[in-house]
Structure formats: structure tokens, C-alpha cells
Chains A and B, each alone.
Chain A
Amino acid sequence: MAHVAFTPHLSRYFPDLRAADVEADTVAGLVAELERAHPGLASYLVDERGRLRQHVNVFVDGHAVRDRERLLDALGRGSQVYVVQALSGG
């Protein structure tokens, strides 16, 4: 069970999105669970191939996810996950 929190910017598109406890062993599994709970959310975080989008980052226990291609970073019991995006441009 990991605890996941989100950048508030995502709530514009998913008004019901709240920090939550999610049963998953990897970040990829977490994204799949999130998609089940919030259809469409995965496509905001990863592309068609499941790769993390360029300007999206996922932190697991304070560290940026290492495997941006397949998101196989392991989640431990009680892992704290934070989903953020890098705001840029104008």
C-alpha cells in the first residue's frame, strides 16, 4: 500500500482526484490503479507506450522515479508517492 498525492494542477481535469492509498508494487502498477479509479488520468501522466511524459515527474519517498520508460520502480509498504509537473513556458 502506497500513499499518493498529486499536483493541484491535475484537479482542473479530475475534480475528484484526492490523495489516496493505493495497492501497488510498482509505479506502473500505481498508474494502472489510478486509471481504474479515474479513467483518462493515465494518459496525462504517461504516453501511449507507458513512458512518463517529458515534463511529468513522480517522486517515490523523495526520489525522482528512475525508470521513466517502464515505471518499474518498486513501491514499499507505506511509500509516499508524489506526482508533479514542471511548469514552463509562457
Chain B
Amino acid sequence: MAKKDGPRLLLGTRKGVFTFTRRKKGWKLASHAQAGNPIPYVFHDARTGSTWCSIDHGHWGQKLARSRDHGATFESVEEPKYPVDAEIKPGKPAILRYLWCLAPGHASEPDTLYVGTEPGALFATRDDGRSFELVEGLWNHPSRMEQWMGGGRDEPGIHSVLVDPRDARRMLVAISSAGVFETRDRGATWVPRNQGMESPYLPQPTPDVGHDPHCIQWCARKLDVIWQQNHCGIFRSTDGARTWKPVHEREKKGKRRLAFFGFPICADAEDPKTAWIVPADADQRRQAIDGALRVMRTEDGGKSWIDLRRGLPDERAYDVVYRHALDVRGDDVAFGSTTGNVYWSEDRGDSWRELGHNFPPVYCVRFAE
């Protein structure tokens, strides 16, 4: 059994949950649970001491599980279910297809947990997983049937859920493809928050709803600063998602654009001007740019991006890093790729060390206490 002995690193992979514990010289594998099962998401809930994961069984459907022993063993938790009359579109029943992300509720509500799913729904448990309810205010949003599209998954999906530490009633979600939505009344009503977003692939590039955020995250110390890795670049809000501005690199003649397309984005918890991305070749190719694996960091609010490559392969790399597969905690940064490579840094990405090269495809990387 994994002991709680300092920082841990969780990997959700195509073949189970890997838990590492911090040692002086690196990370030691403490356990491999759910062996063989695809794990879209895993995280440790510091409020309750539980480690949660979603499971994408090839045969048995989508499941949830919880560990009380820091990822060593898991118990089944009954998964959210769509109401029997729920429809994606008229005549097309909504059946649970994917448990894309799990997010803790407010610190004052330790029994509340949110689950973002495909097809595009948000579920909440208020009793620590004994039961889940559909957040109907979002499901019934008038834009859903007409303006939400598949993106990343066949049907619309919710992959980012942020609960405001200042106000348990306020939340942001990001939906592929619809955009960012905000509630201020615990999910009863929602408004799209996509002003300033631009999606040139759309017939009308600046709709209220219809954008494709890949990931959003806010700065824990300054929550009005929110970063968004979008299908169409990198965007930042400094007013709590009311407006967004592009902060990706512009195309310049004779210079390869690097910081633009990608899936994950991580905000520094303290510095609102610092964030990390893992850029990919946009957007039809989706592989490491020019065969070199890189992380990029901005320290000036996105005006410039630092190319972080020390310790990462600079040729014959084709890795893609999924939206939940990059994490930052303090000076520690870690990411895992679809080709089973996992790297970590203890100096904010300035230099990288390998955790391993033969992991299963990695879907999720999360630090834990």
C-alpha cells in the first residue's frame, strides 16, 4: 500500500493508474492499479483524502472509482446516468460515453464533486459519490442542441470544470465545442463567456457559442486571470472570463510559429503572468513540431514564450500531450504523452528528466499531496 509520504504523481493511462512517490533523486513507482483499464482522468481530492479515477472500459461502459489508500486500490462508485428522456438532439438519446474530467467542489463542500462528460453534460454529487445529478441548467441551455458540436470527441464534451474558491456558487466550464460557460448560481443558469474568442474555421468566426477550448485554468492567487488553450490558439482573460485576448505567437515570415496549437495549459498558482503549454503541430497533423518535443512557458502574460527543450528529445519525437496530461505544482512540472513518454522538471521546465519511455499512452498527469 502506498503510504502518504510527500508529493505524489498520478498517471491515468490506457492501462491503468500509476502512482509515484517523491524520493530524493526522483519518483518511485508505488502502485499500478486498475491494470489494463483505460483511465481518462485521475486526481487526488485533498479535501477528503480520496483519489478518484474514471474508467473507459472497452466492454463494460464508463465507470467511476475511488481510492482511500492513495491510489493503491480502488472501489467502484456508481457512475452518473443521463435521465432516461435525455437527448443529444431530437431523437438521439443521450447515453454516457465518456467521463472526461473530475473536479472537486468548493472547499466548504467536501462532499461535492463535479464530473464533465460526453455527451456534453455536467454532473454533480453532493454526497461524496453516493448519487449524481445532472446539472440541468447547463444541459437545458438553449444553445446546446443547435450550437454545441463534437470536438476531440464525437459528441460535445466537458473537459474543464473550475469552482471559484471565493464563491461556491460560481463555476466555469469549458466545452468542446461550444466554449466557456459561467454560472453564478450553482449551476441553475449559465452564460457563454467567449467574448474576444476567434475561431477562423467557423463561417462566422466570433459567435457567442461554438468555440473549441481545449483546456482552461486559472491562477489560484488571482482568479480573474484565466488561461485558455484553444483549437485556434492561446487566449487569456484578466477579467474572470468576461473577455479574452489572444496571447499566442503571431505568424512571422521566415520564423516557425511554436506557441499556438496544443491541448493542455497550466497556470502558475502564484504569478498571473506565468503559464505552461505543450505546443503541437497545428492542427491537421497533431504531432511534436518538427520532431522535437518541447514545453513552452510565458512569464509576461503571453507576450513571449520561452522554448523549454533541455532534456527533451530534439529529433524523431512525435508525441502529443493531451489536455489533462500536463501539471504544475510549485516548481514541479510533469507531462505524459500519447506515445508513453513521461518527463518531469523540478525547475519550472528549464530542464527535464525522464520518468520513463515505455508507459502506455498517457491521458492524465496530476500531482497530489
Contacts and interface: CB of A to CB of B under 8 A. Distances in A.
> Is this pair of chains taken from one and the same complex?
yes
Interface of A: 9, 13, 40, 43-45, 47-49, 53, 55-56, 85-89
Contacts of A13: 60, 76
A31 B362 CA distance: 35
B81 interface: yes
Interface of B, helix, strand, loop or mixed by DSSP = loop
A45 B60 CA distance: 6
B61 interface: yes
B78 A40 contact: yes
Nearest to A39: B78
Contacts of B27: none
A56 B63 CA distance: 16
A72 B57 CA distance: 25
A85 B96 contact: no
Give the interface size class of chain B: 10 to 19
Q: Which of A48, A85, A87 has the most CB of B within 10 A?
A: A48
Interface of B: 57-61, 63, 76, 78-79, 81-82, 84, 93, 95-96
A9 B58 CA distance: 12
Nearest to A9: B59
Given A13-B76, A40-B78, A48-B81, A53 B96 contact: no
Given A13-B76, A43-B78, A48-B96, A53 B60 contact: yes
B116 to A, nearest CB: 17
A50 to B, nearest CB: 9
B93 A55 contact: no
A89 B76 contact: no
Given A9-B59, A55-B59, A56-B59, 15 more contacts: A13-B76, A43-B60, A43-B61, A43-B78, A44-B60, A45-B60, A48-B84, A48-B95, A48-B96, A49-B84, A49-B93, A53-B60, A56-B60, A85-B59, A88-B58
